[in-house]
């Protein structure tokens, strides 16, 4: 079965997962902007990864519009992984059920532009202002301070689903 990993990554965390997945599946990993719909239509399976911004998986809409045969999606974000996160991503991004995997990314303030840094600053402030913080709040605060939570072992279920 001919496979390819395609990804969109702002600061490198999604790219790292894309390369790990490609290594495990012994296939190529390419940036979304480097591939065309025509090229991707030659593959039996496309594994697409995007980073999460306000619940949306970056670049996925463009991949969806290509109407490819089989697309498995991975999303990389900064919330604690759970079935609820996967369900929300599935619904909000309109992805077929069972085709989404969620991985913990990280936050690299040095690599972010002014506006994105500002948004994160606002999110951080709103959490800091809460009188009582949940586990998720504390996790987000720690991540927003600059953290790498990527773990190679997190891709195991996706690899099993793609083999």
Binding site for ligand FMN (CB under 6 A): 9-14, 51-55, 76-79, 105-107, 112, 116, 119-120
Among candidates 4, 159, 160, 25, which has minimal Cα distance to 70?
4
- For the bound state, the minimum distance from the C-beta of residue 78 to ligand FMN, rounded and expressed in Å, comes to 4
CB of 79 to ligand FMN, least distance (A): 4
User: Whose Cβ is closer to ligand FMN: residue 72's or residue 120's?
Assistant: 120
Minimum CB–partner distance for residue 158 and ligand FMN (Å) = 16
Residues 6+ positions from 66 with CB-CB distance below 8 Å: 37, 40, 41
Q: Are 47 and 21 in contact (CB under 8 A)?
A: yes
Closest separation in Å from C-beta 57 to ligand FMN: 9
What distances in angstroms separate CA 89 from CA 3, 82, 94, 106, one per listed residue? 23, 11, 8, 18
Which residue's CB is nearer to ligand FMN, number 41 or number 82? 82
The residue sitting closest to ligand FMN, measured at its beta carbon, is: 105
């Amino acid at each position: 079965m001919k496979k390819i990993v395609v990804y969109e990554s702002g600061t490198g965390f999604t790219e790292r997962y894309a390369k790990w997945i490609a290594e495990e599946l012994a296939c190529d990993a390419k940036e979304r902007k480097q591939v065309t719909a025509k090229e991707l239509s030659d593959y039996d399976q496309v594994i697409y990864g995007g980073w999460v911004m306000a619940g949306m998986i970056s670049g996925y809409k463009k991949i969806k519009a290509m109407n490819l045969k089989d697309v498995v999606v991975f999303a990389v974000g900064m919330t604690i992984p759970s079935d609820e996160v996967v369900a929300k991503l599935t619904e909000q991004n309109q992805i077929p059920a069972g085709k989404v995997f969620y991985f913990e990314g990280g936050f690299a303030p040095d690599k972010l532009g002014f506006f994105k840094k500002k948004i994160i600053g606002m999110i951080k402030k709103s959490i800091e202002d809460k009188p009582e913080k949940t586990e998720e709040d504390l996790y987000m605060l720690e991540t927003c301070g600059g953290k790498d939570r990527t773990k190679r072992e997190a891709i195991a279920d996706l690899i099993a689903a793609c083999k």
